Chain A
Amino acid sequence: MRHAYTWGAILLIVIASVTGDVLLSRAMKQVGDVDELRRRSGVLAVVARTLQNPHFLFGVVAMAVAFFSLLFALSWGDVSLVAPASASLTFVGNAAAAKLFLHERVDHRRWIAAGLVAWGVAFLAG
C-alpha cells in the first residue's frame, strides 16, 4: 500500500511539473522575447506583462503543487526512488506535452536528448 502511495505521489509530481512547465512556456511565448521587450519598454513592463498573463499564474500554482507533492512524497517514500523517478519522468513527459500542447517540433534528436537526460538524471540521483 505504501508503495502505491509513493507511486501515486510521483505521478502527481510529474503531472503538476509538466503542467507547470507547459503553462509557463506558453505564457512566456505570449509575453514575447523578454530581451527585446526590456530594451524597448523597460524591466517593469516585462514584469507587468508577465504577471498579467493567466497562463503564468496557473503555471506558478502548478509548480507549487509539484513542490509540495514532492515534500509529502519525500516524507513517506525513499528519496532514492522519489527524486530520480519524478525528475526522469518529468523530462519525458515534458517532451510529449510540448509536442501535444505547445506544437513544438520534437524530432528524433530531441526525443533522444530527453531520454538520455532522463536516464542520466536517474543515475545521478539513484
Chain B
Amino acid sequence: MTFRKYLVLAGVAVFASIGDSMLSRGMRDMGAVSISRLHTLLGALRDPWIVGGIFFLLAFFAAYMTALSWADLTYVLPATSLGYVLLALIAKFVLHEQVTTLRWVGIFLIAVGVSCVATGPELTHRHSSNHPAEPELAALQEDR
C-alpha cells in the first residue's frame, strides 16, 4: 500500500460523509417531499447544499471505483466505514448534536473492525484482465 492509496481510501470515507451531511442539510431546508409532488425535487437542484452534496457524492463514487480497481471488496468496505465514525464526530463537534454512549460503542466497534483488515493484504485474488489485447496491462497486473 502506497501513501496515495491510503489517500484514496480516506477520500472514499470523507467524500461520502461530507456529501451525505450536505444533502441532509439541504433536504432539511426543503421540508418533506411527497410522492404526488415529486417535481418539487427539481427545485432542490437550486439549493447550494444539495448541489454541493451531489458533487461530493460523485467524488466519492470516483474514489470508490478507484479503490476497487486495486483492492478487495472485503478490504475497501470496512476500511471506508471510518466515514461513519467521521459523521458521528461531525455531529458531535460541528453540529453539537448529542452522541449517546451506544453510539460511542458503535464507533469503537467500527474502529476495531477497521484495524483488523487494515493490517492485512489489500488484494487476495488476482482477476484476469478483460482486455487481452493489451498484454502490457496484464503483465503489469501480474507484477503486483
Contact A113 B65 (CB under 8 A): no
A-B contact count (CB 8 A): 141
Q: Which B residues have a C-beta under 8 Å from some C-beta of A? A: 4, 35, 64-66, 68-70, 72-78, 81, 84, 88, 102-103, 105-114, 116-117, 119-120, 124-125, 127, 129-131, 137, 140-141, 144
A111 to chain B, nearest CB (A): 9
Interface string of A21-51 (1 = CB under 8 A from B): 1101111111111111100000000000110
Is the pair B116, A110 in contact by a Cβ cutoff of 8 Å? Answer: yes
Known A-B contacts A105-B125, A117-B81, A121-B81; the reply to A31 vs B69 at CB < 8 A is yes
In the complex the two chains form, what is the Cα distance from A50 to B130 in whole Å?
Answer: 11
Which A residues contact B (CB, under 8 angstroms)?
21-22, 24-37, 49-50, 53, 75, 91, 94-95, 98-99, 102-107, 109-110, 112-117, 119-124, 126
Q: Assess whether A126 is in contact with B102, with CB atoms less than 8 Å apart.
A: yes
Q: Chain B contact residues: over half helix, strand or loop, or mixed?
A: helix
Inter-chain contacts of A107 with B (CB < 8 A)? 120
Known A-B contacts A31-B130, A110-B117, A116-B116; A94 and B74 likewise in contact (beta carbons under 8 Å): yes
A102 adjacent to B73 (CB under 8 Å): yes
Distance A50 CA – B76 CA, assembled complex (angstroms): 19
Is B81 within 8 A of A35, CB to CB?
Answer: no
Residues of B within 8 A of A112 (CB): 113, 116
Contact A28 B116 (CB under 8 A): no
Bound form: Cα–Cα A104–B112 in Å: 21
